[in-house]
Amino acid sequence: MAGVSDPAIARVAGLGIHPVKSTAIRPVERATVHPWGLAGDRRWMVVDADGTLVSARELRELFLVTADTPETEPGLGAPLRLRARGFDPIDVVEPDTDLIDLRMHSNDLQGRPAAESANTWIRDVTGRRDLRLIWCDDPTRRTFDRDWALPSDHAPYTDSCPVTLASLSSLRQLNDWIAQDAVERGDEPPAPLPIGRFRANVVVDGAEAFAEDGWARLRIGDVWFRQPKRVDRCVMTTISATDLSSTKEPIRTLARYRLADQKTWFAVHLVPEGPGTIVVGDEVVVD
C-alpha cells in the first residue's frame, strides 16, 4: 500500500467544476471533495418537459452558458449565477419545490425544479422552449446498480462515477495520432484538441500516456480514490465549446487506437473514498 513518502507519478495540472451539466467548464485552483464528487459539480441539469436530460449532445448551445457557484467564484452572493453573451445574468436560488422524476440515459433520478425565471432564461439563451432547470438537493439519493459500484457510491448528475480524471500525456499521444492519421489520408493536420473536450474534473501530467488506465487506487494530495472503470467517449467530444462546430475527431482516431468492447476509451472514472481537499499541483500517488 502506498504511503505518504511514495514518489509521485504525476501532478495535478488542472481542476474543473461543471455547476450545470453540459455548460462551460469552470477552472478552479482547489476543490472540496465529498464522497459523491467535487463540491458544486453537476448539482444542476437541464431537462425537457418530460424530465429527460437535455445535454450538449442534443443542444450544443448549452456550451455557451457559464454557470458559477461559490465553489467556482468565491464570495458569490448566490447559490448559482448563469451568464451568456448578449443576455443579462440571472441568480438562481436552490429551490424547495416538490421532487419530480427525471431520466438521464438509463438512470431514474429525482430533483427539484428551479424558479420559472431560470427556465425562461435558459429557454431564451438556447432557443428551445421546453427546457427546465433542475437542482439535485441530495446527491446521496442516487445509487448505482452496476457491477463496478458499491452500496456507498453516490453522485449528483454526473453520467456515471462522481469524478473524471484525464491525462495531458494521453492527450498529447491522441493529438499525435490524429495528426499522423491526417497526413496518411493526405489531409492537413488539424489543430490539437484541448483537454477541455473531455470535461474532466481532474487533469494530471507527468505519467506515461494512458498509464491512468491501470491506476486501480490512487491518492491525490491527501484524498484517496478508487478507479472502477475507464470513460467511454461520446459524440460530445467532437463539438467545439467555443464555436459549436464539430468534426469526426477524436472519436475517429480513438476508434482506431483505443477501441475495446465496441467503445472508445479516454480518461478514467474515480470514486472518492472520503472527504478532503485537492489543489492544483498536488502529487498523484498510485497504490
Q: Which residue, 24, 142, 138, is CA-closest to 85?
A: 24
- Rounded distance between C-alpha atoms, residue 45 and residue 104, angstroms: 10
- Rounded distance between C-alpha atoms, residue 206 and residue 284, angstroms: 9
Grid cell 431537462 is found at: 47
Please, what's the b/e burial string for 253-273 (b: 16 or more CB within 10 A of its CB; e: otherwise)? Answer: bbeebbeeeeebbbbbbbbbe
User: Where are the chain's structural domains?
Assistant: 10-286
Share of the chain above pLDDT 90, in %: 93
Select the CATH number that applies to the domain covering 10-286 from these four: 2.40.33.20, 3.40.50.150, 3.50.50.60, 3.40.190.10.
2.40.33.20
Per-residue confidence in pLDDT tens, the chain, 287 aa: 555 456 899 999 999 999 999 999 999 999 999 999 999 999 999 999 999 999 999 999 999 999 999 999 999 999 999 999 999 999 999 999 999 999 999 889 999 999 999 999 999 999 999 999 999 999 999 988 778 888 889 999 999 999 999 999 999 999 999 999 999 999 999 999 999 999 999 999 999 999 999 999 999 999 999 999 999 999 999 999 999 999 999 999 999 999 999 999 999 999 999 999 999 999 999 99
DSSP 8-class letter at 166: E
Phi-psi region of 163 (alpha: psi -120 to 50; beta: other; left: phi over 0): beta
Per-residue pLDDT tens digits for 117-151 = 999 999 999 999 999 999 999 999 998 877 888 88
pTM beyond cutoff 0.85: yes
- Rounded distance between C-alpha atoms, residue 11 and residue 279, angstroms: 10
Amino acid at 12: V
C-alpha cell at 53: 436530460
Listed in sequence order, the DSSP H helices in 127-241 are 168-185
Per-residue pLDDT tens digits for 24-59 = 999 999 999 999 999 999 999 999 999 999 999 999
